[in-house]
Structure 1
Amino acid sequence: MPAMKVIDGNPVPPPFGMGFFLIPISAVTDRGNWDTIGLQATGSVDIEVKDHLIPLNHEVDVMSPPKRGGRAVSGGMNVLIPTMHLGFAIGTAERLLDEMKTVGNKKPPVPGAKSIGEKDPFRIEYAQHAMKAAAARALVDDVMESVDNTLRKGEQLSTRQSTMLRAVNIHAHDVTRDIAEWAFQRGGGDALREGRLQRIIRDTLAGCQHFFANDQNYVNVGFELMGAPDDHIWLGLFDFGPMPSAPAA
C-alpha cells in the first residue's frame, strides 16, 4: 500500500515522501465505502492501517526503474501509471462513439420518422467528436512511440518526454469526457435507461474524475513547456521542481 512518510512529525516532500509498503492483510481494515456513480466492478475500497510497525525491508521502491521485469516495465511507475490511464481514456472514447453510432442508426418506433442519425446536427456532432478522438489518439501514439524508443535503448525519459506523457493524459481524458457528456445529451432514452450506453457514460465520467485528469495538473506541464529552469525535474506523477536533498535516515 502507498503512504506518506513523516520524520519527527514533519511530512517528507516528494519524491522521497511517498513510500509503498508490504503489509499483511491481517493489519488492514477494509472500509468498503466505494459506492460510486461508475466503475463499480473495480473492487476499489478505502483501507485503514493503525499502529502497525513496518520493517525497513518491507518498503518497495516503485518510483525507480525496476530491478526485473524487462523493458515493458523499465520506465517504472511514472510510465506505467500514465500508460494505464491512457488506455482507459482512449478506449472509452472509441467505445462511446461505437455506441452512439448504434443509437444514431436505430429506427424510431414511429412509422416514417427519421432516426437521429439521419439528421444533420447529429451527423455534424458525431463527425466533430470522432475527429477529436482520432486527434487525441494520434497524439498519444506519437508520445508513446517516443517513450517506447527511449526505453528500448535502455535509457530514461527526458524531462520533456515525461511532461508530454502527463499532458496527453489530461488531454485524452478531456476529450473523452466531452464525448461522454455529448452522448448523454444525444443518447435519449438509451442514456437514461440501464444498459450499455448508460454504463459506459457513467464509467467514463467516474474515471475522468481521477486526479490524473485534473486540469490543475496543467500548471506544471505549462511551466515546463514554457521553459522551466534546467534543474527542475518531475519528482513524482505531477510534482515538478528542483530536486530536494534526501532526508536523513
Structure 2
Amino acid sequence: MMKRIFFVSLFLAVFLAVAFSGCTDIAPEPEVTEQFDDEYEADDNTVLKVDNINGQISINGWEGDTITLNAIKSTLYGEDELKKVEITSIKSDNEITIKTKSLTVIPPRVSVDMDIKVPNNAVVDFVEISNGEIRISGTKGDTFASCSNGVVTMKNVNGYVKAHVVNGNINVEETKGIGNLEVSNGNIIVEIFDIKGDVNIKCINGKITAYIIPSLNADIEMKTMNGIISVENIAINFTKTEETHMEGVLGDGGSKILIENTNGNVNINSMLVNE
C-alpha cells in the first residue's frame, strides 16, 4: 500500500512539474533588435510630444534645425515579437507627436529606447513612458514628464517643468522653474529657481530634498505624516514650527510652495549660487 501511495505521489509531482514548466515564460532565444531612424522639420513654433510604452526616452537639445529620432526596438522573444510594436509620428499644425504603438491586445514583450535631438528653438511639451526612464536636457519650453517604474531626470531646461512618477524618482536641476512634482514610492530631489503660481511637491513613501534659491519670494508650507522636517542655511520667516508641520515666508512672500510627504522626511536647503 505504501509503495502504491509513493508511486501515485511521484506521478503527480512529475505531472505538475511538466504542466507548470509549460506555463513558465522563458525567453526562447537571444535578444534581437531593430533600428528605427527618422527626421522631422522644425521651427520656432514646433512643439514636440513623445509617448513610449517600455524602454527609455532621452531628449537633448542641439544646434541643428531638425528633430532627429534614433530608436532601437529589442526583445528576447524573436523577430515576430518586434513586429507587434510600431513607432509612428503624427504631425498636426505645429505639433509633432512621436509614439510607440502596440499592434496587439496582449502587451508585446518589446522594449523601445529612443534617443531624440531637438533644435534649440523647438519646445518639448509632453513626454510619457509606461515603464522606463525619461532624461531631458538642454531643451526649451514648459515640460511635463510622466513615467511608471523608472526615473525622470530634467536638467538645464529653459522652462517650467512638471513631473509625475509611480515607483521611481524625480531629479530636477538647473531649470527656469518648477510646477507640480509628484512621486509614489520614490524620492524627489529638486532645485527651485522660480515657481509659476502655487506649486505642490508631493511624495508617498520616499524622501523630498529641495534646494531653494535664496532670492525666491514665496510662501512655503512643509508637512509630513511619518518623518521629520529639516531646514538648513535658508532664511524663512516662520509662522508655524512643529516637528512634522512648518509654515513660513521666503523673501517678500508670494505664490505658495506646498511640500508634503506621507512616509518620509522633508529636507529644505539653500541653493549655492555662483556670484
TM-score range normalised by the length of the shorter chain? under 0.3
What TM-score do you get using the length of structure 2 for normalisation? Answer: 0.21
Larger RCO (alpha carbons 8 Å, 6+ apart): 1
Is the radius of gyration larger for structure 1 or structure 2? 2
**More strand by proportion, 1 or 2?**
2
Q: TM-score, normalised by structure 1?
A: 0.23
